[in-house]
Amino acid sequence: MSLIRSLFDYCFIILQSGTQNIRAKMQKMQNRVLRIIKSFPLKTSIKTIHKELRIDLIDDRANKLFSKFITTRQSHEIIAQEIQDFLLHNSSRNNLKYKTPFDSIINTPNS
């Protein structure tokens, strides 16, 4: 499982920029694999499987990795400036149909 998780971790930016359909298919695949590997009965809920195995859902993991990336990269001068420019020019994005991962940090205080 750690091998598969590391592959997902390396592609979290792709997961964040992909469509919801892609993430949903990947989540279904992960659920099937976890159910087979650990021999959970079919009626076991997905939340229970993830809780017992201490594995995040794909969306949750990608969001955590993205937040960590942004937090650690804010000390890098060029990246910090790019983030600030994005937030400054896109502060009115709250009503958009399609939101980017950056939209989740618009209301986050700057470090």
Rounded-to-integer distance, Cα 82 and Cα 9, Å: 23
Query: Position 8: which residue type?
Result: F
Q: What is the DSSP-derived secondary structure letter of residue 91? A: T
pLDDT of residue 95: 56
Q: How confident is the model at residue 99 (pLDDT cuts 50, 70, 90)?
A: low
Which residue has 């000390």 as its token pair?
75
- Residue 105 has what DSSP assignment? G
Question: Does the pTM exceed 0.85?
Answer: no
**Nearest-angstrom CA–CA distance, 95 and 6:** 34
Using the predicted structure, report yes or no on whether residue 111 has a pLDDT greater than 50.
Answer: no
24-83 pLDDT, tens per residue? 888 999 899 999 989 999 899 999 999 999 999 988 888 888 888 877 777 778 877 877
